[in-house]
Amino acid sequence: MQIHTLDKAQLINEVQLGSQLNHAVETGRRSDFSLMLAMLSPDYLENTPTEIPPAQGKTEEELREYFELARPQPLTSTEECYQRAAAQADAFHKGGIRSSQFLHELQPAALTFPPQGTKGMPEELYHNLSGHERRLLPPKDEAKLNVSPQDLYLSLIQAKRFAEMQYTA
């Protein structure tokens, strides 16, 4: 019977115990202290946050603009990365390693230059394919879709209207 009443106490945090928890510590009543702690809810979502959440920091782009930093080094190559790499190689031949490193810090080239014209496959694999197998590959590389949620929403509305018009006709 006494356990049932303890179960319904619904203690969530130590504030609900008032000064009883402090008195148990001061008087050395370890059993009462451990019982009161065991009665507290272990669910973190029920606990009252005691720490102030950190303020929202600035984004990476805002910090780059504030400190006037260059764009980060791209991971894969683009058309301009080939030009940058050629300029760095030219700077190395004309001015040495220091000028090449300086140019790399100002305009970093890509980390990787994947092979082009291999349909997204590794170069070794693509060159091991026979001409017949290469012909079966898709004719051009898959391009990334340039879509936005607004375009999707507009196309869904148009499709719904066309369906309504066909249904009523």
Grade residue 59 by pLDDT with cuts at 50, 70 and 90: confident
pLDDT at 94 over 90: yes
Phi, psi torsion values for 142, nearest 5 degrees: -70, 130
Two tokens, residue 12: 């969530």
The dihedrals phi and psi of 112, each to the nearest 5 degrees, come to -130, 150
Query: 47 or 135, which is more confident?
Result: 135
Residue 98 has pLDDT above 90, yes or no: yes
Query: Taking residues 118-133, what's their average pLDDT?
Result: 84
Model confidence at 90: pLDDT above 90: yes
Residue 15 has pLDDT above 90, yes or no: no
H-state helical runs in the chain: 2-7, 20-27, 30-39, 60-66, 79-95, 97-106, 123-128, 131-136, 149-168
The mean-pLDDT minimum among 17-26, 59-68, 155-164 falls in 17-26
Question: What average pLDDT does this structure show over 72-86?
Answer: 85
Q: What is the mean pLDDT of residues 67-92?
A: 86
- The predicted model scores a pTM of 0.38
pLDDT band at 154 (very low <50, low <70, confident <90, very high): confident
Site of tokens 């106490």: 9
Contact criterion met (CB below 8 Å) for 92 and 128? no
Query: For residues 86 and 51, is the Cβ–Cβ distance under 8 A?
Result: no
Spatial separation of the C-alpha atoms in residues 4 and 79, rounded to whole Å:
73
